[in-house]
Chains A and B, each alone.
Chain A
Amino acid sequence: MPSYDTHTYDVLVIGAGGAGLRAAIEASAHGVSVGLVCKSLLGKAHTVMAEGGIAAALSYVDDRDNWKVHFADTMRGGQYLNNGRMAELHAKEAPERVLELEAWGALFDRTKDGRILQRNFGGHKYPRLVHVGDRTGLEMIRTLQDHGIYQGIAVHMECTITTLLKEEGRVVGAFGYEREKGRFLVFFAKAVILATGGIGRAYKITSNSWEYTGDGHALAFHAGAELMDMEFVQFHPTGMIWPPSVRGILVTEGVRGEGGILLNNQGRRFMFDDIPALYVNQTADNEEEGWRYTQGDKNARRPPELLTRDHVARCIVREIKEGRGTAHGGVLLDISWIKKKLPHAEDHIRKKLPGMYHQFLKLADIDITRQPMEVGPTTHYIMGGIRVDADTQMATVPGLFAAGECAAGLHGANRLGGNSLSDLLVFGKRAGEYAAQFAKENKSVTISGEHLDQYSREALRYFETEGADNSFQVQADLQDMMQDLVGIVRNEADMLRAVEELKKLKERAANVRVTGNREFNPGWHTALDLQNLLTVSEAVTLAALERKESLGAHFREDYPDRDEKSGKFNIVIRKSEEGWMELRQEALPELPAELQHIINEMK
């Protein structure tokens, strides 16, 4: 029997972005031992790419804001498919979580009276996003990292988990490998928190890095936990599209928050052409009013560029499909026009959007203070994920918790910009707190060596397979397929084809050939990640087929409207005893009267 490098903790956190770090900090503050596993180096997780800000109703810029407005905005943005309790906790606790970051050293941009400055963002009624230029995510992850390293948390960098360990009906640890030497690691833990982020690598055009292969979703699914809302994948309206090598890289919504406008190839501001009924009362009906809103006029309504991401992405797709796109298949996003309105506009843009200025100048030879940007939708985020209890973040398998993007519930059918960073903080903390409590109430359990040997054999089998493909080829084919068949605009015929394609891809993925040895071998790592990508791709496809209506980020051209009768359910996915994906529709839980009252009041 091989020996394994074994570690024992009270709480094991898998993933070290915002949610994982916040969870680890909280768990260790509750006096339990904590291990933190990162797929990359510490501080490199995708949280660094978050640009716009953290949504929190601090009401420093507009005193009409409060948790109730934030709650109602979040629910409206999610088409009321959100878990109401999560949306309530999130809106109530986000301000405290932000202030805590400041106490740990974060430095946000300031108002004139020295408080934290807040900016406008899509779907948020008042300026609400706490930010630092357009590098808010970096500020947040670095603050958490630099606070967390003094907490006695054991950090395992460049380590990937391949299986959760289960015994006596609960999750008791995890099995994985470290990249450097390819050695296997065994973690025993009384509670395990998944904070693994998203699934963006299932698509060809994505803002996500190589890490986002749905690991947490797949680990939880195979451990018997339920997934929910997997059909809701957010395509961010503005990703870079030219040159080809930068396709998919995010262009922050902050550009539109600062007054940026969307134009088609005829120079028309097409976002005024289609304003959804749910937002008519809140949206400007002329350009002048929209501009005044971005400049802080409290009596103005928001410009249509700041409608929710699902809607803006679809409008862009419509323009492109109907022949009004740019030569490279996008639309124009222009911030330079504000020089007609503001003195020193060029300095203002560089100050407010330094990352965007730098990114376009370096990678696309575009000076955004003088020229428009070419943009198009990019796969960005998944609203769905592991089904959790709203208060404790525990999954449907005891001992397993989830927080951040890999958990479901808060965002419903569409996430508002800025609600991700606040989600990480609020529910990262809660997951850490309740996982620590669970650890205190439960004993540690070990696993027999036979099981572990089986996991190591499964991971190593790719060195012996004789397939024709390498793992990168199969991954690229999967990404092309998902982009074409289960993308922004969906229909039944395409998705049935996707189901067939997935079967073929699974076979190929099971037989990919890995060359070289176990030491830092990306081909091998990708072969393992690919299995997770296939699991989540199947979940997304099956759930998208099941929902025969359009709402939020899920758009079916064969069912273009919301089905008011049936459209009040979540789709829940579980692994059947035979190992299949089992889907069921579950009626939305009824909102408590006081929350329903808030929604009605804010309509």
Chain B
Amino acid sequence: MPSATFQVQRGGAGGGRLETYTTEVAEGMVVLDAVLQIQAEQAPDLAVRWNCKAGRCGSCSAEINGMPKLMCMTRLSDLPPGKPILLQPMKAFPLIKDLVTDVSWNFRVKKMIKKFKPRPPDAADGTWRMAQEDVDRVQEFRKCIECFLCQDVCHVLREHHLFEEFIGPRFFVHVASLEMHPLDVEDRREELKKADGIGYCNITKCCTQVCPEDIHITDNAIIPLKERVVDKFYDPLKRLFGRWRGKK
């Protein structure tokens, strides 16, 4: 049976090292299969997160040959043959151990975003009516599996560590799913501008490139949100109108 060689980053926050493992490869195998095989046969304490193994839960995010990817959706046959495969944890988040990082910041950020607030029901029985096309637009954002690969690749977080000032692509997608929700009546534009730091995004689209759900993060979520912020805060007519009314 053919085999493949992996260089896996091992160790905790104290400093990682690369360990080399060689394991047998079967047809159709994905990177996660190989990692679990190495774990079962050679390194039982190799730390890795995974759940569904079908690209639906977003647990097994890692950097494969330097590219942020889901291990369960990366086929070995799609990687350069004969070369060792480099496996590292997501770089943007604090390392816990081996391939596992501390992503708890993401869960704290989400709680800061104003929650969904629906308009009053449309019908006497307390239900709403929505058109499929309005739903479709938001369903793109709701496909997000919270793998946090977009957060990992975003230079505002990865290189500049602005975790206190910037919520990252994942949560712009989340805000977009709320702001564009056909029923939602909340206004999140002030937070987008200030606490969420949407201005830091300079539209390099790295997030869109790594999204395993093919969400057009930049074009469909971030840019429309930026436009909404501009409309609220920088519209010259509104500004004039505001001055005339004696407000800021």
Contacts and interface: CB of A to CB of B under 8 A. Distances in A.
A110 B55 contact: no
A209 B104 contact: no
B129 A115 contact: yes
Contact of A515 (B29, B40, B45, B129): B45
Interface in B6-53: 12, 26-30, 33, 39-41, 44-53
Nearest to A518: B45
A31 interface: no
Interface string A351-367: 00001001100111000
Interface stretch (B111-119, B155-163, B191-199, B231-239): B111-119
A109 B135 contact: yes
B139 interface: yes
A48 interface: yes
B29 A243 contact: yes
A399 to B, nearest CB: 29
Interface stretch (B94-102, B216-224, B240-248): B94-102
Interface of B is mostly: loop
Interface string A335-375: 00000000000000000000100110011100000000000
A245 B145 CA distance: 22
A108 B128 CA distance: 12
A109 B28 contact: no
A110 B59 CA distance: 30
B9 to A, nearest CB: 14
A470 B29 contact: no
A49 B52 CA distance: 7
Nearest to A517: B45
A524 to B, nearest CB: 7
A585 to B, nearest CB: 37
Contact of B27 (A43, A102, A243, A517): A243
Contacts, number: 168
Interface in A132-158: 132-133, 135, 138-139, 142, 146-147, 149-150, 155, 157
A355 B73 CA distance: 13
User: Which size class do A's interface residues fall under?
Assistant: 35 or more
A41 B93 CA distance: 15
A243 B29 CA distance: 8
A46 interface: yes
B129 A113 contact: yes
B178 to A, nearest CB: 8
Given A107-B138, A244-B26, A520 B129 contact: no
Contacts of B118: 103, 105
A135 B129 contact: no
Nearest to B52: A49
A367 to B, nearest CB: 16
7 contacts: A104-B116, A110-B130, A135-B56, A138-B143, A359-B55, A363-B73, A520-B47
Interface of A: 40-46, 48-49, 99, 102-105, 107-110, 113-115, 132-133, 135, 138-139, 142, 146-147, 149-150, 155, 157, 180, 209-211, 242-246, 249-250, 355, 358-359, 362-364, 470-473, 476, 514-517, 519-524, 526
